Amino acid sequence: MLKKLELSGFKSFAGKTSIDFAHGITAIVGPNGSGKSNVIDALRWLLGERDAKNLRGGKVEDLIFAGTPKKPRVGLAQASVHFDNTSSFFPVEFNEIVVSREVDRGGNSKYFLNKSEVRLRDLVDFFAKARLGVKGLIVIGQGESDMFLKATPIERREMMEEILGLREYQLKKAEAERKFKNTEVNLTQVQGLIKELAPHLRSLKRQTVKWEKRSEIQEELKKIETELFTFRLAEIKSNFLKIDPRIAEVEKGMGHGERELKALEVNVEATEGYDSKYHDEMKKIKADSLALSQEKSKLEKDLGRLEAQVEFLEERKTAGEEIDVMSAVPFIQKLKSRLEALLSSDLEVVKSALREIILEVNGLFRARKESGPNLETVQALHGKLVAKLAVINQSLDALRKRENEIAASLEARSGEFKKALMAREAKKDFIKELEVERNKILFERERWNLKLQDLELQAAQAGFKLLPELVENFPKAQLANLNTADHERAIYRLRGDLASMGDVDEALIKEAQETEERHTFLTAQHSDLSRALVDLTNLKQGLEAKINTEFQDAMKNINKEFLKYFELMFGGGRAKLEIKNPYTAEPSGFRQKAKIKIKEGDSIEENAEQENKEDEEKEPEQLGIDIEVSIPRKKITGLEMLSGGERSLVSTAVLFALVSVSPPPFLVLDEIDAALDERNTRRFAEMLTELSKKTQFVIVTHNRATMEAANVLYGVTMGDDGTSKVLSLKLE
């Protein structure tokens, strides 16, 4: 299992030193002070030992070669141990595993697993899975041959758990307990925060109810406005689509009539005959008639536009008052507040304030009048144009009368001329009728154009955009059944509700949202932590049950082997390891801790109260190991009555019993045979030889019998430069 140990700058090994280990027993010998125990310290250090005192030093710097008069000190201590993993003993996919550790004089330590830097905690967990570590009996240092006897009952149990491979589960259990405590603290803190936050959240919700209602009103208002504006826009667009074809048709007829009229004019001139007396007058009449007709046409167009404005303004006067009153609501509310404030003022202040209010009211009406042409102005202009048109019609009638007189005088001269003249006049009347029809259509288009402009103005005031695709995307059936009067009343009512609510406090809304989000987050955290407590409780109970079951099963075999080795070493007697509660001195079986089931619906106070109650009713659950021995021909009442050699023999018997039941990959022993006499040393060597078939041994010794049992012998000597050197000898 152990292949090689490499040291550099570690304690007395200043230079690079390499020690290869045999499969059986490797013995390390040498005079006192030569540094052979430093090999054991290096192995203990590599297995995760952190306490410098357990490495026979006062501080971490004592692990680094301090220098001698002939050899300067070094700044870094390094050690590496190589393991053969062809049997896949370690849970990694490598045939060879190298664990390295180094420390500098600044106290900085680094740990490597196959040249990859790892944490010490990871290294301890890695060794725990392989039943290795520094808390058990894997490494027994110098002067610690009776360490199992000197240990407390709980420490004895920890040693046995490590060599039995239960250390891994103890570490997991300790980690679960640590997480359980942290989770309990976090859960208590979260619960406190939730309790602190809940009243404030309820208060904020009460304050934000009306703001939430405002959003609903705004959504409803937007929906109704969209429907109303869409309906009116659709109506206007529909009428616009009908107007242009009608205008094109009339203008086409007028163009055709104009061409026919010109032909008739030529015919009239051809059939008129020559009459110098009426020629100039008829020419002048025609010129005047043409000029008056053009002016009349222009007046009729202007008159049509004015009539559309009059009609639109009359409709607006009757249908638009509600909008004006509604838009004056803020002004009236402000005026009411100012009048209420004047109730307690003196007469001069009241007069001054009333004068300001009158000026503001006049300004309101003046702004209303200046906002666009009013009905009276347009009607007055319309009257003037009507009067002017009447004068033009009179003039045209007079010209036609004179023209008719001339025509009557000429009638006798030619029947054909009369016929041509009548045809011309009929065509003129036809063209005039088409002009009247066109003016009516133009008047209608102007009226719808004014309605479109007014609709755009209303939409802009409401913050609404009349997009071209609005009508196309709106359901046709919904537009067909829309009641505009109901929609207008609903808009007036909803705008009044919004005005009475006032402005929204955005800071309050934001605070309410943030508080709600935090409360939701904490509630989720509370649920997660409660589930984590349940999982950790189940994990702890499962690990504890596994540890206790395996430990109790192993105890039977350990006691059997312990008695066997004890009888061999003492030539008889009795020995037994017993599980006891260290607080009662009475034997104690393994008891499962009372299971406290934490349900997600229960409060942490109820669970904590139940757990505290259970703890008060129970005795401490940490169980230890007591040793009961009876030596032949000697009556003892306690371990303290044993001699040094006897204590060493008892500890060795326990060690060999553990190795027999659960063979570790290797054991490192430092002079544990020092207190044994020659006879017991030979027994120790024989047992060591037998056990080396399953476990690899590295032992520091001065006894010849132990050396004879070794497969490889390393000699450690101290050179004149104050550094340790190693010599090896393989024994056949």
Is 533 in contact with 185 (CB distance < 8 Å)? no
293-297 long-range Cβ contacts below 8 angstroms, 24+ apart: 293/396, 295/392, 296/389, 296/392, 296/393, 296/396, 297/435
Give tens-digit pLDDT for 580-637.
765 554 444 433 333 333 344 444 334 434 444 444 334 335 678 888 888 887 777 6
DSSP-assigned letter for residue 135: S
Q: What is the structure's pLDDT at 207?
A: 64
Secondary structure string (H, E, C) spanning 515-535: HHHHHHHHHHHHHHHHHHHHH
DSSP-assigned letter for residue 9: S
Handedness of CA 43, 47, 52, 55 (dihedral sign): negative
Report the distance separating Cα 102 and Cα 160, nearest Å. 29
Report the distance separating Cα 591 and Cα 584, nearest Å. 15
- For the chain, report the end-to-end CA distance as a whole number of angstroms: 20
Regions of the chain short of the pLDDT cut 70: 131, 134-136, 143, 145, 165-168, 204-212, 214-215, 270-279, 316-331, 342-346, 350, 361-374, 409-417, 466-484, 497-506, 508-509, 581-622, 637, 730-732
Nearest to 264 by CA among 439, 434, 436, 430: 430
Is 583 in contact with 619 (CB distance < 8 Å)? yes
**Tokens standing for residue 183:** 């989770």
